[in-house]
Chain A
Amino acid sequence: MSSQTAGLVLTLGAVETFPTAAAVSAGSLLSLTGVTKVYDAGELAVTALAGVDLEIERGQMVAVIGPSGSGKSTLMHILGCLDAPSEGTYVLDGQDVSTLSSFALAGVRNRKIGFVFQTFNLLPKASLLRNIELPLLYAGLGSSDRREKAREALARVGLADRAKHRPSELSGGQRQRAAIARALVNGPSIILADEPTGNLDSKTGVEILKIFHELHDRGETIVIVTHDPRIAEQCERVIEIVDGRVVN
């Protein structure tokens, strides 16, 4: 690739990847209207979400809490475009994503959503760098651009010197930091964290939360699903789900 085209890709990437940071003024990032999710298991249809109305503003740090079976995981899946609502609409970043095909949803996940999982979900046989490159790979970026962005993201979570290491050579906290770097690397509109401290000791958990706070301070929108009230009280807004409904 010539240096000229490389530069072009980089510029495009920069424009595309950080639209949510401070430059964009606060406003509604996503809105759910009457979202219902029914799992149809033959005669026993299960209603996981029963008409959820919800708006999340840009730059907010939100906790979603609720007992198990309350439907908070389902809400998380719909917010993350892993699943489509049975009824209702979901508008993310100005785009109605509730009726998209699974192929289109994959693209939305790739560009707009950064996932952080409880179990980190890093590829065990791949280096950290390659793990973090994955979302960029699915975005169709060339290898030199990928490497550069992945290194930047690693540096942001303080793991610049671990690029060549495999996940198994790292501590739990370091793995979750790497996972956060992976969530950030594509410049998503929203970071969705599912019990991000669930597999960590409390001290490491605090460390991870500190990173989320830093990201929040820089204008990222963060949604953390948790059942830990201590985490929830650190967020500026708490959404409680009970029996498939938002109760507060």
Chain B
Amino acid sequence: MKKHLASLWESVVDGVVDIGSHRARSLLQVVGIVLGVASVVATFGLIDGGKRQMTEFFDKTGGIRKMFIRNLDTRQARESATQKSSKGLTYEDAMVLAREARTLELVEPTVERRELVRAPGFEKSLEISGATPAYQPMYDFRPVEGRFITQEDLTASAKVVVLGATRKDEIFGGGSALGRSLSLGGSTYTVVGVMERKEFFWNSANDNSLEWMNRFVFVPVTTMLNRLSGDRTGQKVAYINVQALSAAEMDRSTAEVETILRRLHGGVQDFEVINRAERMKQMEEQGAIYDITFLVCGTISLLVGGIVIMNILLASFNERVREVGTRKALGATGLNIMAQFLVESVVVTILGGLLGVALGAGFTKAISDLIQQPVVLSPRIVLLGLSFSVAVGIFFGFYPAIKAARLNPIQALRYE
């Protein structure tokens, strides 16, 4: 038994040596597998890169625990809301949410309004945002100069401004803007902070997707409500961002927010809660469909590669019949011959798989450089590509191997 195993192992080694002595044949065999594996690796590299981009974008804009509550602006909702005397989303709603909701970590109402902004050499009507200190942790948005809006600013309805990076350059040019004044709606405000520049590029074809954050002109939300907007009684807010305590319990958080707001709005659903985790899940489900599609394409191209291997094995089969006969006369068993043939296709496919992974990695790198989108080469995909190619090698190598093993030695020796 030990002897048989040893001779089988030697057949395997022999098969490997054989590949070296038939370079042209082996090269042809490898081509299909190389391209198949390369295409799988490149495709999944792009898909995974896209997924990582999405996660990164979400992380930079509040993470997946964020929920976005906005006024539902259909005519029907508004009419029925008016009947029930609901005013839409208000600052008061946000205060109640912050007080009552147990599943929320942060609540951030934002009020928006256009105002004339004036500074020395600058005059323009701009969108002003009334915000709370919660905005900073929610978006992980940090000041590079000075500070963000504080609780004291809120209490005092302080006449302070925090500027986004682009706005600051626009209004004050280079140099520090800290402590400088500007006029908002006719009254003077002091700049107490400038925010860091936020950047995110999906790929080179897109502009900075977070440029809107660099264009913020923040004032305390109370200042906005009490001093700037004439509507002190209504206290309407443009939207409320909330952050749930746990990403796993987003559905519970959504339900809680809806229950509280519906009660405050006299039972009318004139708002909608957009749940990021939900969206992420939907996208992942869609992604899974793409994954399967590409996997099917990859499998087909690997199958084609496998058929190429089998074809070449069979085409070169006739010239090897006498060789098989000779080997059998010298004492090779059918198993020895099978091992030798099988190892050839398996080694060829492993080689092809490795080359394919390298080529695919090259592809993804090139694409990544071209469109400036990060591409991820995950070990999962590399392993998938390699194991697929080995499976293909064994599967398509089997038929020629068995055919060779079953050759009658006498007929094989006589074969011309």
Contact = CB atoms under 8 A, between A and B. Distances in A.
Contacts of B14: 137
A140 B331 contact: no
Interface string B130-171: 000000000000000000000000000000000000000000
Contact of B10 (A103, A107, A125, A140): A140
B17 A139 contact: no
A14 interface: no
B24 to A, nearest CB: 12
Contacts of A117: 326, 329, 413
A110 interface: yes
A186 B331 CA distance: 10
A186 B333 CA distance: 16
B332 A140 contact: no
A113 B333 CA distance: 15
Interface in B4-25: 4-7, 10-11, 13-14, 17-18, 21-22
A107 B413 contact: no
A77 B410 CA distance: 7
Contact of B410 (A83, A121, A137): A83
A111 B330 CA distance: 9
Nearest to A104: B333
A123 B326 contact: yes
A138 B331 contact: yes
B3 interface: yes
A109 B331 contact: yes
A182 interface: yes
B330 A103 contact: no
B326 A110 contact: no
Contact of B7 (A77, A83, A138, A186): A138
A106 interface: yes
A182 B21 contact: no
Nearest to B326: A121
Given A82-B410, A121-B322, A139-B3, A134 B329 contact: no
B325 to A, nearest CB: 8
A242 to B, nearest CB: 21
B336 interface: yes
Interface string B13-57: 110011001100000000000000000000000000000000000
Contacts, number: 81
B10 A102 contact: no
B258 interface: no
B352 to A, nearest CB: 21
A111 B10 contact: no
Contact of B11 (A111, A123, A126, A137): A137
Interface string A97-122: 00000110011011100010100010
Interface string B276-315: 0000000000000000000000000000000000000000
A245 interface: no
B327 interface: yes
B328 interface: yes
B129 to A, nearest CB: 78
Main secondary structure on B side of the interface with A: helix
Contacts of B393: none
Nearest to A80: B329
Contacts of A143: 10, 13
B334 A103 contact: yes
B21 A126 contact: yes
B409 interface: yes
A82 B333 contact: no
Interface in A130-144: 130, 134-135, 137-143
B409 A134 contact: no
A83 B414 CA distance: 14
Contact of A82 (B6, B7, B409): B409
A6 B163 CA distance: 82
B330 A134 contact: yes
B404 to A, nearest CB: 14
A115 B323 contact: no
Contacts of A142: 6
A138 B21 CA distance: 20
Given A82-B410, A83-B410, A117-B413, A135 B330 contact: yes
A115 B11 CA distance: 20
A98 B60 CA distance: 81
B413 A111 contact: no
A75 B21 CA distance: 36
B48 to A, nearest CB: 43
B324 to A, nearest CB: 11
Interface of A: 77, 80, 82-83, 102-103, 106-107, 109-111, 115, 117, 121, 123, 125-126, 130, 134-135, 137-143, 182, 186
Interface of B: 2-7, 10-11, 13-14, 17-18, 21-22, 322-323, 325-336, 409-410, 413
21 contacts: A82-B328, A82-B409, A82-B410, A82-B413, A102-B334, A106-B334, A106-B336, A109-B329, A110-B330, A115-B329, A117-B329, A121-B322, A121-B325, A123-B323, A130-B17, A134-B327, A135-B331, A138-B10, A139-B3, A139-B331, A142-B6
